[in-house]
Amino acid sequence: MAIMGEKILVVDDEKDICNILQFNLENEGFEVDVAYSGEEALEKLSESHSLIILDVMMEGMSGFKMAEKLRKEGNSVPIIFLTAKNAENDMLKGFSLGGDDYVTKPFSVKEVLARVKAVLKRTTTSQTPSTKWVYEDLVIDIASHRVTIKDEEVPLTKKEFEILVLLAQSAPNILTRSEILNKVWSENEFVLDRTVDVHITRLRKKLGDYSSLILNRSGFGYYLNTDLNNEK
């Protein structure tokens, strides 16, 4: 059953799809709000929503456009994309926009429920110690799930934050792509081999002057360059 208080926003311009998802999610104990367009979804979305199931192909604002807008505004609510498009490039685009999972139509209701629970489980069980990782003006506050540079918050998605924390806690050890995938994504989630690279590329871009902290050792994996602490 769902954790008490978990609320999901379902966004799809096909009312039958919304009705099916709403019925089955509510049967699992979730609270469900429905929107039939990206514009309506933005109006309904609130901090009480734990997850968005978001159709990609909609008239007006597409699911990708809506996700892009949310991430640019610093909103890191988990997103599961729902779409008939199953090409690898489309999936990678979804992940690059901060999507947490990707389900293709026609879908199995059981599969959607499993993916919803997997994403929410990771969200609610990722309680971390009250510690901070600091390098110069970069601060990773694990307890509050915030990253700041010169006291300005860096708008990371949940997965970007989890990858950065994982690298910081593992430094200076190298983590393979498989190790990162296994620790950040659940076994029920669909991921591609390039998923880690896509997320780290976006993470580096957001870190700006501190992007060089994240290094890749070809053939091995990623690590934080803690040796920079000795450079001035």
Which tens digits make up the pLDDT trace of 73-83? 888 889 999 88
Number of Cβ atoms within 10 Å of the Cβ of 109: 13
Beta strands at 138-141 and 132-135: parallel, antiparallel or unpaired: antiparallel
Query: How many angstroms separate the Cα of 121 from the Cα of each of 40, 87, 184?
Result: 27, 27, 12
For the stretch 185-218, pLDDT in tens is 877 677 776 889 999 999 999 999 999 999 998 8
| 227 DSSP assignment | G
DSSP string, 80-141: EEEES---HHHHHHHHHTT-SEEEESS--HHHHHHHHHHHHHHHHH----S-EEEETTEEEE
Give 103 or 124, the one with higher predicted confidence.
103
Instruction: Kindly report the average pLDDT of the chain as a whole number.
Output: 85
Domain coordinates in residue numbering, the chain: 7-125, 158-230
Q: Where are the beta strands (DSSP E) in 6-99?
A: 7-11, 31-35, 49-55, 79-83
Determine the pLDDT at residue 27: 92
Which residue is associated with the tokens 């076994």? 187
Burial tier of 70 (Cβ tally within 10 Å: 0-12, 13-18, 19+): buried
Give 179 or 229, the one with higher predicted confidence.
179
Contacts of 48 (CB under 8 A, 6+ apart): 7
Say if domain 7-125 classifies as CATH 3.40.50.2300.
Answer: yes
Cβ contact 10:19 at 8 Å: no
Which CATH number is 158-230's, of 2.170.8.10, 3.40.50.1000, 1.10.3430.10, 1.10.10.10? Answer: 1.10.10.10
Give 176 or 121, the one with higher predicted confidence.
176
Confidence of residue 130 (pLDDT cuts 50, 70, 90): very low
Burial tier of 197 (Cβ tally within 10 Å: 0-12, 13-18, 19+): middle
Taking the whole predicted model, whether its pTM rises above 0.85 is answered as no
Over residues 159-165, the mean pLDDT reads: 92
Two domains, one topology: 7-125 and 158-230? no
